[in-house]
Amino acid sequence: MGIIIIYMEETMKKFTLVFGGICLTAALAFAGGGAEPKPSSSGAPAPITIGGIFPLSGGVAVYGVEARNGIELAIKEINAAGGINGRNLVLISEDDEGNPEKTVNAYKKLTTKDKATIIIGSLTSGCTQAITSLAQAQKVLLVAPAATMASITDAGDFIFRACFIDPFQGTVGGAFAAATLGAKTAAVLYDNGNDYSVGLTENFVAAFQKQGGTVVAQESYNTGDVDFNAQLTKIKSADPEVVYLPDYYSTVSLIAKQLRAQGVQVPIVGADGWDGLTENAGDEVLNGFYSNHYASDSTDPKVVNFVKAYQEQFKSVPVSFAALGYDSMYLIKDAILHAGSTDAPKVRDALVQTKGSYVTGNLSFDAKRNPIKSAVMVELVKTNGKLTTVYKTTINP
């Protein structure tokens, strides 16, 4: 919707200004429903703007940097192949530092100043949740690469995600601990102020008990804590055969050091928040296993090609957040092609019908726009003196 300017006689100038202001407000309020952009003055097709919101600094910066890298790699490939119907993609990214308030500010900047009607982000569930209602109200298509909290898509039909949800990966962790590791008893240490950690705990416990296991200790801490020795002393006394640590890599590395220092050497199990440990932890996380969205050592041709291309451009092995960012961009690309338009409602309608094979697996969407896809379990090992992960098994939904 554009700004309408009405040329009136002098007596009507005040009406013109007021009406023009109303139209401008309406245009901003309905950012997702605008017309296709016109060609540039040079005659070249106008680029397609994709907004991106990531934690590029702060405690979970690994997630954001990797996701942005994956998106940039996908855009590079798509543009090199001629773009989308001859139009190049352009990513405008904003750093939310893993802070929900800054996520909202980034969203407002992208939708008002940059006129983005398709946004990828953010990475953590709390930050993503902060903008889902805004996106839904303004008909902005929002694709969350890695926000696993179940309620993320509840805001409405403009909200999608590329990752499986916490109930699934919590269940995967519990089943793996009992069936694959053969544990009969487990302890859990979780952040009681983090929905991600709480949700994983609930589903791990339910799945472990369903497999015949017993949870002998369930301890909690507050977000930001750095000393876990009191809780770990209780866990040690309970003598579990496995310990579940559902948190992000920076906190898990601290807990693992203190756990091993107390002499507890049993397997530790976690979820996708552990991605980043290979660059931010040491031997304390060995004998550790976690659910993830893909395994970089997979022999699947899509994974092999993605890992090779990523390493060539960024000189490192991509973690799952890079793969999810990469897949998010290709999901949007495929939907734009199917829709024959970049109009957000039309792209949304096409995205709902997605059924394809991507780096993180075969994917389709359920009624709540959550992907139906498998999860992998990976193990943390040391190879040539360097911490890395190796594929263990795949768990299907």
CA distances from 296 to 74, 148, 305 (A): 17, 20, 10
| pLDDT recorded at residue 347 | 98
Q: Are 303 and 49 spatial neighbours (Cβ–Cβ below 8 Å)? A: no
| Sheet strand arrangement including 48-54 | 89-95, 48-54, 118-121, 141-144, 159-161
| pLDDT recorded at residue 348 | 98
CA 176 to chain centre: 23
18 token code pair:
């007021």
| pLDDT recorded at residue 381 | 97
CA distances from 45 to 36, 274, 295 (A): 11, 42, 38
Looking up tokens 């609930």 gives: 202
| pLDDT recorded at residue 195 | 86
| Range 167-292+377-395 classified under CATH 3.40.605.10 | no
Alpha helices by DSSP H, listed for 30-150, are 61-80, 100-112, 125-137
Q: How far apart are CA 105 and CA 283, in angstroms?
A: 39
| pLDDT recorded at residue 40 | 53
**Intervals of CATH 3.40.50.2300 along the chain:** 48-164+300-365, 167-292+377-395
H-helix or E-strand containing 116? none
| pLDDT recorded at residue 297 | 93
| pLDDT recorded at residue 301 | 94
pTM of the model: 0.79
pLDDT in tens, the chain (397 residues): 333 333 333 434 333 433 344 443 433 333 444 444 555 555 678 999 999 999 999 989 999 999 999 999 999 999 999 999 999 999 999 999 999 999 999 999 999 999 999 999 999 999 999 999 999 999 999 999 999 999 999 999 999 999 999 889 999 999 999 999 999 999 999 999 998 899 999 999 999 999 999 999 999 999 999 999 999 999 999 999 999 999 999 999 999 999 999 999 999 999 999 988 998 999 999 999 999 999 999 999 999 999 999 999 999 999 999 999 999 999 999 999 999 999 999 999 999 999 999 999 999 999 999 999 989 999 999 999 999 999 998 888 7
Neighbouring C-alpha atoms within 13 Å toward the C-beta of 91: 26
Looking up tokens 């060995």 gives: 286
| pLDDT recorded at residue 2 | 38
**CATH superfamily of the domain spanning 48-164+300-365:** Response regulator (3.40.50.2300)
Strands, E, within the chain: which ranges?
Answer: 48-54, 89-95, 118-121, 141-144, 159-161, 185-191, 214-221, 242-244, 268-270, 288-292, 355-358, 361-365, 371-372, 375-383, 386-395
